[in-house]
Amino acid sequence: MDPLREGFLYHLAQTSGNPLALDVVSAEGCWISTRDGRRYLDLVAGLAVCNVGHRHPRVVKAIREQADRYLHVIPYGEFIQEPQVRFAERLTSLLPASLASVYFVNSGTEAIEAALKLAKRATGRTRLIGCRKSYHGSTHGSLSLTDNEAKKYRNRPLLPDTDHIGFDSVQDLGLIDDRTAAVVVEPIQGDAGVRVPSVTWLQGLRQRCDETGALFILDEVQTGFGRTGKRFAFEHSGVVPDILVLGKALGGGLPMGAFISSLERMAMLSHEPLLGHITTFGGHPLACAAGLAALEVLQAENLSERARSLGDRFKMKLNHPGIREVRGLGLMLAVELGDADRVQRAVHRCLDRGVLGFWFLSCPTAFRIAPPLTISESEVDLACNVILKAIDPD
């Protein structure tokens, strides 16, 4: 066996029995190159991470410049580090005034954990509510709010006092009560197979949280940074959360998460107890420099608008009797085939023809399209031609 492959299989913990195991040597824009000389058009973007494409020159430059100044110097919160401050200033300048204070962490799931802690602290309550079919991460708190039993049953007991309500169910809003610390919601469910809720439901959720004093935590880990055709998905509905959770594309390709709330609420993390959330690496200067550069690219290259028009292009071109539906907003799309075996076959056939697609955790009958937002029209057309052929019967 090839020694690298052997090392990968035997010395790296495996997460599935059949990883794709592409042996990557470089990635640029929307393309990933492998050691065997092949190139793949990337419709996954590192799972909604590489929104500005792989190795965008501005992001690489920012990382290089910061690497020449300093790397890690101290755990989060003690020193003034310019990349953290500049990035937080730029981020909050794009958000409503109630979301003024940023806490940078290392991943989406850590940001969810910290947001849950903040909600319990701020309300003095314990009950936490998530939505059916949700995904919020793989650590204990996030998993408790996630509604995917296959991922949970080996890890019980999880957090007590957690419940799930129907996503997009107006009727279930009544289950949010004055014992509820927070309701955690994805504005568009990602791993459930890209499910877009009604604006009325999101508005009703905001109203019910206001009535009961529960905090509204919006998980934009997957939907943020132009992915859905707006900078943040909450801009589609205008419904502003109490705590906004970010990750994935936030770090421009480096690992990063964040939770954002009001100055008053975030101030609670600094006393009783002191250091209410602690992270050694959160707000790493390299990740902040990369994230700021990526945000500048997002704006300079109008990537949210591109996501909108190119998403429409995918929907228009992906016409095939085997496709039941192409769901989603912007470049967060699910191609519904209605059958898990056909999805497996289509994804593998695409791969054979140089197009990288991927599955969903909780929707075996569809596959995802979430390319870098920098994808060109001709690359979209190429991808669609390959997908259509991959869906054709033998």
Q: Which residues bind ligand PLP (CB under 6 A)?
A: 107-109, 112, 135-137, 186, 190-191, 219, 221-222, 247
Closer CB to ligand PLP, 286 or 390, in the complex = 286
Closer CB to ligand PLP, 112 or 356, in the complex = 112
217 exposure class (CB count in 10 Å sphere: 0-12, 13-18, 19+): buried
Q: How far is the CB of 386 from ligand PLP (least distance, A)?
A: 25
- The SS3 assignment for 248 reads helix
Q: How far is the CB of 189 from ligand PLP (least distance, A)?
A: 8
User: Dihedral of CA 58/63/69/70: which sign?
Assistant: positive
Q: How far is the CB of 244 from ligand PLP (least distance, A)?
A: 12
Closer CB to ligand PLP, 218 or 384, in the complex = 218
Residue 61: C-alpha distances to residues 56, 58, 71, 293, 294 (Å): 9, 5, 15, 9, 11
DSSP secondary structure letters along 75-96? STTSS--HHHHHHHHHHHHTS-
27 pairs with which residues across the strands?
Answer: 32
Closer CB to ligand PLP, 147 or 186, in the complex = 186
Closer CB to ligand PLP, 189 or 374, in the complex = 189
* The two structure tokens encoding residue 344: 């497996």
Instruction: Tell me the C-alpha distance between 45 and 253, whole Å.
Output: 9
Q: Which residue is nearest to ligand PLP (CB)?
A: 108
Instruction: Tell me the C-alpha distance between 231 and 295, whole Å.
Output: 10
Q: How far is the CB of 121 from ligand PLP (least distance, A)?
A: 21
Q: How far is the CB of 139 from ligand PLP (least distance, A)?
A: 7
Closer CB to ligand PLP, 114 or 387, in the complex = 114
Whole-angstrom Cα Rg for the chain: 21
Q: How far is the CB of 50 from ligand PLP (least distance, A)?
A: 14
Q: How far is the CB of 66 from ligand PLP (least distance, A)?
A: 21
Closer CB to ligand PLP, 136 or 206, in the complex = 136
Q: How far is the CB of 104 from ligand PLP (least distance, A)?
A: 13
Backbone angles phi, psi at 178, to 5 degrees: -85, 10
DSSP secondary structure letters along 333-368? EEEE-S-HHHHHHHHHHHHHTTEE-B--SS-TTEEE
Q: Are the C-beta atoms of 185 and 217 separated by less than 8 Å? A: yes
- The SS3 assignment for 287 reads helix
Closer CB to ligand PLP, 258 or 295, in the complex = 258
